[in-house]
Amino acid sequence: MKTFLVTGGAGFIGSNFVLHLLGTRDDVRVVNVDALTYAGNLENLASLEGNPNHIFLHADIRDRDAMAQALTQYQPDVVVNFAAESHVDRSIENPGVFADTNVMGTVNLLTCCRAAWDDGKGGFGDHRYLQVSTDEVYGALQIPEAVNPDGSPADPAGATYFHETTPLSPHSPYSASKASADFFVRAWHDTYGFPSVITRCSNNYGPYQFPEKLIPLMIHNALLHRELPVYGDGLNVRDWLYVEDHCRAIELVAEHGRLGEVYNVGGHNERSNMYIVRTIISEVRQATGDAAITENLIRHVTDRKGHDRRYGIAPNKIREELGWEPQTRFEVGIKKTIRWYLDNPEWVEHVTSGAYQQYYERMYAGR
C-alpha cells in the first residue's frame, strides 16, 4: 500500500482527487487533512464512508503538532498540498488569511515533512511532496488581436502563453500568496534537497465546486432565475480544465514528475466569461426545458479590482515528459458539470443554506 497524505481534501479539487485515487486504485491509502473552513465539505466524500483506505483528520496545516503527529502516525509516502484559501474576491476583502494559510501553512507543512523525512544522511528516502499551485502566479496575458467568438485565440500558434519559465508576476493577494508559497517550496528543494515538485494549473470546473466560483454560481442562479452577474465587459479569458483531468495530472506528477521541477497543467480550452455564461444559459435551459432562463438574466457589474485579462497555459512539458493529455473538451465537460448540479440538488441546497457545515457534527462528532 502507498499512503498519500492529502491536505484540503474536503474542498473542490482535493475531494475530486481523493475520490479519483480511491476510485481507480486499490494500492492506495489516503490520509485526508482538512480544517473544514467554509470551503471544506465532508459531504463531497460521503461515498467513502466505511472505506478503510480513507482516513479523515480534522486539522489545520498551520498546526505544527498536528502535522508532525499525522506524519509520524501515518508515514505517508507522498504529500499533496491542496489546502488553501482559494477565492480571489475573498483575498481582496481579507488578504491576511491568505498569507496565513497559503504561505505560513505551506512553510509549516514543509518544515514538518522535512523533519519527518530526514534520513540523517542528507536524504529523504523515496518521499515526495507536491505543491498544488495555480497559473495565476504568472500574472496576466494580453488578449490576442483576433479571437474566435468563444474568446480563444484565432491564431493559437501566434498567441502568447504561460510557460514554466515565465517569470512570476502575481497581481491579486491570492496569487501573491500562492507565488510566495511556490518560492518556499523551491527554496526547500534548492537549499535542503527536499523532494518537492510543483504543478500550476489553469481554472478548474466540475462536480463539488462551491457555488461562489463562476461556473457553479451561474448554474445555481440560472436555475433560480436570479441575475447572472458578469464582471466588467465579460471579455476576460480563462483556460478551463475539467477537474478530473487535473486530478490525473497531479497523480502523475506526484509520482513521476522530476523533483525540483514545475509542471504547467492546462488543455487549451480558453473561453471568455461571456461565452461561459451564454453557454450555461443555453445548456441549463435545454436540460430543464425552462424557457425563463434567457440572456435577459445577465447583468454587467463593476469589474473586479486588478482583474487579470487573460490566462493561457502551455502544457507542453507535462505532455512531453509524462504523456499527460486532457481527456475532456470544454463543450463536453460543461454538459457533465451542469448535469451533476441538476442531479445533486441536495448537495447544492446544503451548501447554499449552510447545512453542510453540520455534516461533520452529525457524522463524526463523538467518534
Question: Which positions touch ligand NAD (CB under 6 A)?
Answer: 7-8, 10-14, 34-37, 39-40, 60-62, 82-84, 86, 101, 105, 132, 134, 178, 201, 203-204, 210
- In the complex, the smallest distance separating the C-beta of residue 299 from ligand NAD, rounded to whole angstroms, is 24
Q: Strand (E) positions, 28-162?
A: 28-34, 54-58, 78-81, 128-134
Burial class (CB in 10 A: 0-12, 13-18, 19+), 232: middle
- In the complex, the smallest distance separating the C-beta of residue 135 from ligand NAD, rounded to whole angstroms, is 7
Grid coordinates in use for 15?
Answer: 475531494
Query: Which among 174, 263, 311, 341 is annotated as catalytic?
Result: 174
> What burial letters (b/e) apply to 236-265, b meaning 16+ CB within 10 Å?
bbbbbbbbbbbbbbbbbbbeebeebbbbbb
- In the complex, the smallest distance separating the C-beta of residue 204 from ligand NAD, rounded to whole angstroms, is 4
Specify the residue, 101 or 279, whose C-beta has the smaller distance to ligand NAD.
Answer: 101
Q: Give the residue at shortest CB distance from ligand NAD.
A: 11
Specify the residue, 41 or 221, whose C-beta has the smaller distance to ligand NAD.
Answer: 41
- In the complex, the smallest distance separating the C-beta of residue 292 from ligand NAD, rounded to whole angstroms, is 30
Specify the residue, 11 or 315, whose C-beta has the smaller distance to ligand NAD.
Answer: 11
CB 196 within 8 A of CB 114: no
- In the complex, the smallest distance separating the C-beta of residue 332 from ligand NAD, rounded to whole angstroms, is 18
- In the complex, the smallest distance separating the C-beta of residue 12 from ligand NAD, rounded to whole angstroms, is 3
Specify the residue, 70 or 297, whose C-beta has the smaller distance to ligand NAD.
Answer: 70
Length of the chain: 367
Contacts of 239 (CB under 8 A, 6+ apart): 135, 202, 203, 266, 267, 268, 269, 270, 311, 312, 313
Partnered with residue 229 across adjacent β-strands are: 299
Taking CA 281 as the corner, what is the angle to CA 154 and CA 212, rounded to the nearest 5 degrees? 95
Residue 133: φ, ψ to 5°: -110, -165
Query: Which among 43, 85, 136, 245 is annotated as catalytic?
Result: 136
Gap between the Cα atoms of 31 and 99, Å rounded: 25
Specify the residue, 77 or 136, whose C-beta has the smaller distance to ligand NAD.
Answer: 136
Specify the residue, 59 or 274, whose C-beta has the smaller distance to ligand NAD.
Answer: 59
CB 273 within 8 A of CB 230: yes
What does each C-alpha distance from 311 to 24, 272, 307 come to in angstroms?
31, 10, 11
Partnered with residue 241 across adjacent β-strands are: 204
Query: Which among 34, 135, 182, 270 is annotated as catalytic?
Result: 135
- In the complex, the smallest distance separating the C-beta of residue 194 from ligand NAD, rounded to whole angstroms, is 19
Specify the residue, 18 or 281, whose C-beta has the smaller distance to ligand NAD.
Answer: 18
Active site residue 135: yes
Q: Which of 347, 215, 344 is nearest to 269 (CA)?
A: 215
Residues that are catalytic:
135-136, 174
